[in-house]
Structure 1
Amino acid sequence: MNMTTKSPASGKVDTSNLKHTPILIALLLGAMVALLNETLLGNALTVLMKEFDVTASTIQWLSTAYMLVVGVLVPITALLQQWLTTRQMFLIAMVTFLAGTLIAGFAPTFSVLLVGRIVQAVATGLITPLLMNTILIICPPEKRGATMGLIALVMMAAPAIGPTLSGVIVDSLNWRWLFYIVIPIVIISIMIGMKYIQNVSELTRPKVDYLSILLSTLGFGGLVYSFSASGDLGWSDTKVYGALLVGFISLCIFVVRQLKIENPILELRAFKVPMFTLSVGLIVIVMMSLFSTMTLLPMFLQTVLLVTAFKSGIIMLPGSIISAIMGPIAGKLFDKFSPKVIIVPGIVLVGLAMFLFKGITPDTSMLQIIIMHSVLMVGLMFVMTAQTYGLNQLTPDLYPHGTALFSTLQQVAGAIGTAIFISKMSSGTTKYMESSANPLNPVEKLNGLTSGFQGAFALGLIFIIVAFIVSLFLKEEKEGVKAARVLQNEH
């Protein structure tokens, strides 16, 4: 077995003898099942409501709790990666995920099912940043684009396929099979990981600042919960604005503390690197639009076009397949060309899709929707290379912090974006119905819903225009890649 060693000259871990392919397979399989489970219950919620005799607001906790735990845990993964070896963290994550899957799959009550989902979420919060950090370490800068393309494939395709797979399984088998089917994949991932994964990062084991962990938990947890719950409870609910207030105050104190203490759990000084900060901003803006579209489009299909949840999943499947194909291609192109050549056209494609969605009506054909969604997903694959570009700007000691920042802010962006766009859709519908001469007319109700969705997609287009302007400030030359090559040559 190939073992990693420390180079006596640099004190860094020598990864030159590692077998990269099996390591990537193990990590990608783990990330795939973890991210797939974020959306796998989408078409099963109604069935689960009847199975456990609970309300819609109660069943929604299966999704809200999952997002909440991931949002809370990801920020501290940078610290965990300095205390645990790559192998330890991977095995902890995957064994935890297996345990959560078994708990959920055999759950006799809703409470037990919720516990299983929370345990799964703990693993998801660990595995994604670990995957990204490992790739940054073992892959040379000039080949990271192609490898990150595989990550983009998993991160975008797995959650997108979830609703379709869910519909097929619920219709043909039993909801418990949503959990049973991933068990063999998890076991294979664990077996490959046990054989091939070795430590790839230096363990510094810094002093743990427990107050920072508490502030991070309250801050990110409060933000994710408040925006996630606002759709059901409304912003006037004390739980929602109370959580938002606690989250905001905690986050402000957390930021100040990270900048002052000697061993921060999240190194915010990474934002001093201009192109990293620009890339983070770009990804956050685009992800807000993406998460909202992934929520709004199925809602439009089911409430306006009156298609079933399963059929709506089928309609969105071609776009997911195309994105899976385009992810690695976009990554390879990123390795060959400057960031602007890849990212800017990607944003233009996303903007084009948003512009077309802005004009969506009950008369829009299924084929048109499939094409629009496919254009969106292709553009997104090109835009996601901005994440690789941003991380390339950092020095190796900041990799865990950079990946944690990207993953955390994507979770927060998803929660905030979904809340904003659904709120815009609801307010647009209400405004139309208030001005309608005959609000009880079924046709007018349909027009009101359509107006709400059009307004939400129009807002998404504005976000993408902002992202386009931001992308123009990206530097043509990938300076981080050059710097990384110099560092590798020195060591």
Structure 2
Amino acid sequence: MKTGPAEDQQETKQYKVMPILFAMLLSGFIGLFGETALNVAITPLMGKLQVGPTTIQWLTTGYLLVMGILVPISGLLLQWFTTRQLFTTSLVFSIAGTIVAALSPSFEILMVARVLQAVGTALLLPLMFNTILVIFPIEKRGSAMGLIGLVIMFAPASGPAISGLILANLTWHWIFWISLPFFIISLVCGLLFLPNISKLTKPKIDILSIVLSTLGFGGIVYGFSSAGGHGEGGGWTSPVVIAALLIGGISLVIFCIRQLRMEQPVMNLRAFRYPMFTIGLILVFICMMIILSSMLILPMYLQQGMALTALAAGLVLLPGSLLNGLLSPIMGRLFDKFGPKWLVIIGLAVVAIILFMYTGINANTPVGMIVAMHLFMMVGISMIMMPAQTNGLNQLPSEYYPHGTAIMNTLQQVAGAIGTALAVSILSAGQTGYLSRVTDPQSPANQLAGFTTGIQHAFIFALVLSVIGLVCSFFVRRVQVGKQAGQGPMH
């Protein structure tokens, strides 16, 4: 269909951008909402499905594992299948998984449903990024990516609070029944308005690369998730964790060497030759580690250290997450106008200051102050994520878009697994170290003090990450329109 640059430009103008964005963003929101919505239902589900904590954690670990395996090969899929084929397949998996989950009578069937849901989300996320890069010119991408930022940040953050409200009035099945109509609306809207926008090159499929990618990224995600308390591994000294990390690490090294030697790699690592893409990737990686480790340890302290309910803890974090979502499109417009550099520097400075304040958190810290600190931290995050991500992807030539989005989304999954595992380990080490120095470690006062010390140490870890990110941010420069990536993907 595409025969020349003039026709490409004409076709660009004919895209029904708003319906396409609506279909992508709605399905993305519900998919990512489902990623965390089940978290607050974990405890009641253990009783209802008659399984232990190690087994029930597979609902989270299995989801992360499927994402870690499928997202890396999404660049290949984007070159083999049309936009409509991938979107439809993604929504069919999501709808099937949601229906199966809503009807699940047992843990095994619910586990199958979670895998189906993860396949749908893993296919959708890279497709969403790639579509935005193609249908928007480079000078307008910030605003569009800001809307994606709204979805990626607000959906998982709102999951626990919304599902907490559902569980207070209905059964856990309704978490899925309520999601179902939104997926169906997205599918219908996509079928009506979404054109085939990607260029199919159908590169040779290298089975060994796919195997290495699966073992590599799957092993790393599973190993860190298990070390951080998910799955059956449990702890860094577990043979399962050590084996998973070793196999994952070795497979990844071989995978990377192989990709650099191939003419048509599954994941084109030559994208790292573009410095703004690499710096953007580092900043996004650090940001995801900070966000996901904070989203884990802060609710833990609100519930265990300050005796709030799960719903109350979710509501404490909701204003910051909501503000972050609302600010993402605004930051996108500021990015389009002023570029990324000062947005990112100011954002990381704000995050570093708030994390420094978090290192002094204790049981007497007013809840209102925690809400305020979280609000400011999420404002800072909104200034970092989208500008760093968009500026990095803008520098890539159009043929690298599928690979760039695959690398970016894959490393976000890896960052989440690594960040949460390290945060939990540092928390545990800080708590153990404190209790080993007191005379009565079993007393409630010492237990609380030990837990508080562990939490503070975990925030020191996040603070160090933010300082590293702040140093990197000074090397960010705006990618100029018409340079590096050319004048946009369709030219």
TM-score range, shorter chain: over 0.9
Cα distance in 2 for residues equivalent to 1:347 and 1:470: 10
1:472 matched to 2:480? The reply is no
Cα distance, 1:410–1:258 mapped onto 2, change above 3 Å: same
Shift in CA distance, 153/10, structure 1 to aligned 2, threshold 3 Å: same
1:193 paired to 2:218: no
* 1:272 alignment partner in structure 2: 273
Per-residue CA deviations over 1:166-221 (Å, capped at 9, x if unaligned) read: 11111110000011001000000000000000111111111111111110000000
Once the two structures are TM-superposed, the CA of residue 338 in structure 1 deviates from its matched residue by 2.4
Structure 2: distance between partners of 1:332 and 1:299 = 35
Q: Distance in 2 between matches of 1:299 and 1:151?
A: 28
User: Is residue 2:145 matched to residue 1:148?
Assistant: yes
Aligned residue type for 2:21: L
Tell me, in whole angstroms, the C-alpha distance in 2 between the residues paired with 1:9 and 1:452. Answer: 58
* Structure-1 residue corresponding to 2:76: 79
Q: Distance in 2 between matches of 1:433 and 1:184?
A: 50
Which residue number in structure 1 is paired with residue 160 of structure 2? 163
Structural mapping, 1:297-446, within 5 Å: 297-384=298-385, 385-446=387-448
User: Where in structure 2 are the equivalents of 1:197-236 lying within 5 Å?
Assistant: 197-232=194-229, 233-236=234-237
Number of the residue aligned with 2:249: 248
Query: d(CA) in 1 for partners of 2:388 and 2:74?
Result: 21
- Map residues 102-181 of structure 1 onto 2, 5 A cutoff: 102-181=99-178
How far 1:12 sits from its partner (Å)?
6.1
**Partner residue, 1:88:** 85
After superposition, the Cα gap between the structure-2 partners of 1:315 and 1:215, relative to the gap in structure 1 and judged at 3 Å, is same
Deviation, 1:244, is 0.6
Q: Aligned partners of 2:19 and 2:158: how far apart in 1?
A: 24
- Pairwise CA distance, 1:342: 1.0
Q: Please report the TM-score for the alignment, with normalisation by the length of structure 2.
A: 0.97
One-letter amino acid of the counterpart of residue 416, structure 2: G
Aligned to 1:447: 449
Amino acid at match of 1:239: V
Give the drift of 1:437: 2.4
1:60 aligns to 2:61 (yes or no):
no
Structure 1, unmatched stretches of 5+, are none
Matched, 1:29 2:26: yes
2: distance between equivalents of 1:304 and 1:485?
50
- Quote the residue 1:44 is aligned against: 41
1:6 aligns with one of 2, 9, 16:
2
Which AA in structure 2 matches 1:324?
A: G
- Between the aligned partners of 1:280 and 1:330, the Cα distance in structure 2 is 18
Letter in 2 for 1:296: I
The alpha-carbon distance between structure 1 residues 468 and 117, as it changes in their structure 2 partners (threshold 3 A), is same
Q: Which amino acid aligns with 1:420?
A: L
What are the superposed Cα offsets for residues 431-484 of structure 1, whole Å, 9 maximum, x if unpaired?
000001221221111111101000110111011000000011112x423x3327
3-state SS of 2:440 partner: coil
Aligned-pair identity (%): 47
3-state SS of 1:16 partner: helix
8 Å Cα contact 1:339/1:478 also seen in 2: no
Q: Provide, for residues 69-120 of structure 1, a one-character-per-residue CA deviation record: whole Å limited to 9, x for no partner.
A: 0011001110001011111100000011000111111011100000000010
Partner of 2:463: 461
1:489 is displaced (CA, Å) by 11
Task: Give, as a single letter, the amino acid of the residue that structure 1 aligns with 2:347.
Answer: G
SS in 2 for 1:438: coil
Work out the CA distance in 2 between the residues paired with 1:346 and 1:127.
28
1:15 is matched with 12
Deviations 1:322-364 (A, max 9, x none): 1121111111100000211211111111112211111101000
Instruction: Give 1:412 shift.
Output: 0.1
Aligned residues of 1:222 and 1:247 also touching (Cα < 8 A)? yes
Write the letter of the residue equivalent to 2:474: L
Structure 1 Cα separation of the partners of residues 259 and 93 of structure 2: 29
Distance, in Å, in 1 between the alignment partners of 2:352 and 2:8 is 43
1:228 positional shift: 0.2
* Distance (Å, rounded) in 2 between the aligned partners of 1:442 and 1:387: 45
Q: Structure 2: which amino acid aligns with 1:268?
A: L
Shift of 1:145: 0.5
Deviation, structure 1 residue 262: 1.7
Measure, in 1, the Cα distance between the counterparts of 2:236 and 2:8. 50
Match in the other structure for 1:483: 483
> In structure 1, how many angstroms separate the alpha carbons of the residues matched to 2:49 and 2:207?
38
For the residue of structure 2 that corresponds to 1:362, the secondary structure is coil
Structure-1 separation of matches of 2:278 and 2:330: 25
Provide the C-alpha distance between the structure 2 equivalents of 1:338 and 1:292, rounded to a whole number of angstroms. 28
Q: What is the CA–CA distance in structure 2 between the aligned matches of 1:132 and 1:95, rounded to whole Å? A: 19
Query: TM-score of the superposition, structure 1-length normalised?
Result: 0.97
The change in CA–CA distance for 1:298 and 1:489 in structure 2 (over 3 A counts) is: closer
Q: Are 1:237 and 2:238 counterparts?
A: yes
Counterpart secondary structure, 2:14 = coil
Please report how far the alpha carbon of residue 485 of structure 1 lies from its aligned counterpart in structure 2 after TM superposition: 8.3
Paired residue type of 1:260: R
Partners of 2:246 and 2:18 lie apart in 1 by 46
For 2:68 and 2:179, locate their aligned partners in 1 and report how far apart those are by CA, in whole Å: 23
Deviations 1:283-319 (Å, cap 9, x if unpaired)?
1112111110000000000110011101100111111
Name the amino acid aligned to 1:103: V
Residues 37 and 156, structure 2, Cα contact 8 Å, conserved in 1: yes
Shift of 1:275: 1.2
Q: Is the 8 A contact 1:146 1:331 kept in 2?
A: yes
| RMSD (Å) for aligned C-alpha atoms | 1.5
* Matched AA of 1:46: T
Cα pair 1:90 1:130 within 8 Å, conserved: yes
CA contact (8 A) 2:482 2:488 kept: no
Separation in 1, partners of 2:489, 2:188: 34
Distance 1:339 1:425 in 2: 34
Contact 1:12-1:202 within 8 A present in 2 as well: no
Contact 2:147–2:328, Cα closer than 8 Å, also in 1: yes
